[in-house]
């Protein structure tokens, strides 16, 4: 998701969040958020609500863990220097040139060379301890949003947390792969099928990354092979005829943050709220829609101006135009 389209807390307050029962929920109970692969921080779309997050953060890389330990932007925070997987065991962690690419899977030599993935070069191997979501003593009377960014280990984490995920997770934001950047990692279809068996519905991709072998070096503006993406999966309360207020407020929050306004309005209508609560939530969601459209227009104008300058000056385009901001 383009950072320029992400919501700040002030944006949401300006749209009327404080006048809603959703604000009361966020202020008192907070948003339970489990971040697996926490080195990069919570996903950009959610950062604006950091002060409302009850965050459980998992990061196996010792250096990155120390960086996170010195940062505390959340309502509450628990930090674990442990990796998650399919079972309790010791496992090699491949430390790469880019800290973003460290994984328990070995980088795929063919694809990293083919697409110039220089950050995937292994510079060290460490032994780490893996545990499972199901083995952890996480409060089972609460519902959670789960973010998975584990460089190919997402399916292992799901398999090691099936009971917890099925009964305690409302939504999952997971990195999914379409190319084997690491040896034998599961691709999107396997992640989707595993989560579907646990009662989840795929909603949308929230971010994309494309890769090219850059054969045409005179121009960089094109859509190339889909490399990986962030995908949103939910336990759909309308399909399940579920009206738990905590789970529904978690989803409404995510829908607004990811600009899924019709889904947010549908869920407000689904809930048994008094007319005043519903009216204030509808006003807030519609105000967010208007603000998002205005942001989109401004970003589109900015990108088109940059593109026009590149074309007129016959320069090589060295940035990725966010095509989704035009559509």
3-state secondary structure 154-220: HHHHHHCCHHHHHHHEEEEEEEEECCCCECCCCCHHHHHHHHHHCCCEEEEEEEEEEECCCCCCCCC
Is residue 317 over pLDDT 50? Answer: no
pLDDT-based confidence at residue 20 (cuts at 50, 70, 90): very high
Q: Closest Cα partner for 173 from 78, 13, 38?
A: 38
Is residue 313 over pLDDT 80? Answer: no
Tell me which of 35-39, 137-141, 255-259, 269-273 is least confident.
137-141
Q: Are 25 and 47 in contact (CB under 8 A)?
A: no
pLDDT-based confidence at residue 242 (cuts at 50, 70, 90): confident
Mind listing the pLDDT tens digit for each residue in 98-131? 988 999 999 999 999 998 899 999 999 999 999 9
The number of beta carbons lying within 10 Å of the beta carbon of residue 167 is 12
The number of beta carbons lying within 10 Å of the beta carbon of residue 95 is 17
pLDDT-based confidence at residue 69 (cuts at 50, 70, 90): confident
pLDDT-based confidence at residue 85 (cuts at 50, 70, 90): very high
pLDDT-based confidence at residue 308 (cuts at 50, 70, 90): confident
Instruction: Name the range with the highest mean pLDDT among 69-83, 154-168, 201-215.
Output: 154-168
d(CA 60, CA 39): 9
Q: Are 209 and 228 in contact (CB under 8 A)?
A: yes
Is residue 63 over pLDDT 90? Answer: no
Q: Which residue has the higher pLDDT, 234 or 315?
A: 234
Mean pLDDT of all residues in the chain?
Answer: 89
pLDDT of amino acid 202: 98
Is residue 4 over pLDDT 90? Answer: no
- DSSP codes of every residue in 65-110: HHHHHT---SSEEEEE--EE-SSSEEEEEEEESSGGG-BSSPB-HH
Tell me which of 167-176, 228-237, 243-252, 300-309 is least confident.
300-309
Q: At what angle do helices 245-257 and 275-312 cross, to 10 degrees?
A: 20
Mean pLDDT within 135-149: 91
Is residue 117 packed enough to be buried (19+ CB in 10 Å), middle (13-18) or exposed (0-12)?
Answer: buried
The number of beta carbons lying within 10 Å of the beta carbon of residue 307 is 14
Q: At what angle do helices 245-257 and 21-28 cross, to 10 degrees?
A: 100
Is residue 213 over pLDDT 80? Answer: no
Tell me which of 31-35, 232-236, 244-248, 318-322 is least confident.
318-322
Q: If you ran DSSP here, which 8-state letter would residue 7 be given? A: P
In order of start, what are the domains of the chain with their CATH numbers?
3-312+319-325 (3.40.50.150)
Q: If you ran DSSP here, which 8-state letter would residue 5 be given? A: G
Mind listing the pLDDT tens digit for each residue in 248-307? 999 999 999 999 999 999 999 999 999 999 999 999 999 999 999 999 999 888 888 877
């Amino acid at each position: 998701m383009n950072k320029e389209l992400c919501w700040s807390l002030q944006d949401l307050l300006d749209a009327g969040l404080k006048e809603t029962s959703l604000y009361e929920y966020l202020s008192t109970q907070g948003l339970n958020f489990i971040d697996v692969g926490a080195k990069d921080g919570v996903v950009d779309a959610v950062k604006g609500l950091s002060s409302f997050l009850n965050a459980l953060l998992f990061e196996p890389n010792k250096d990155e863990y120390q960086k996170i330990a010195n940062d505390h932007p959340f309502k509450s925070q628990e930090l674990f220097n442990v990796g998650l997987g399919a079972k309790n065991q010791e496992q090699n962690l491949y430390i790469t040139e880019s800290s973003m690419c460290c994984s328990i899977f070995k980088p795929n030599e063919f694809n990293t060379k083919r697409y110039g993935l220089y950050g995937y070069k292994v510079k060290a191997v460490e032994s780490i301890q893996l545990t499972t979501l199901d083995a952890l003593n996480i409060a089972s009377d609460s519902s959670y949003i789960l973010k998975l960014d584990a460089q190919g280990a997402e399916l292992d984490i799901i398999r090691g947390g099936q009971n917890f995920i099925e009964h305690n997770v409302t939504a999952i934001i997971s990195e999914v792969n379409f190319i084997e950047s690491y040896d034998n990692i599961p691709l999107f279809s396997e992640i989707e099928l595993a989560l579907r068996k646990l009662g989840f519905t795929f909603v949308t991709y929230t971010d994309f990354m494309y890769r090219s072998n850059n054969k045409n070096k005179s121009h960089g503006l094109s859509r190339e092979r889909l490399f990986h993406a962030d995908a949103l999966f939910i336990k759909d309360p309308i399909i399940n005829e579920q009206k738990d207020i905590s789970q529904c407020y978690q989803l409404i929050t995510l829908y607004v943050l990811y600009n899924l306004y019709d889904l947010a309005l549908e869920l407000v209508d689904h809930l048994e709220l008094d007319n005043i609560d519903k009216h204030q939530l509808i006003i807030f969601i519609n105000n967010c829609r208007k603000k998002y459209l205005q942001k989109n227009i401004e970003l589109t104008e900015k990108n088109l101006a940059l593109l026009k300058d590149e074309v007129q000056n016959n320069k090589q385009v060295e940035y990725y135009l966010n095509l989704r901001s035009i559509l």
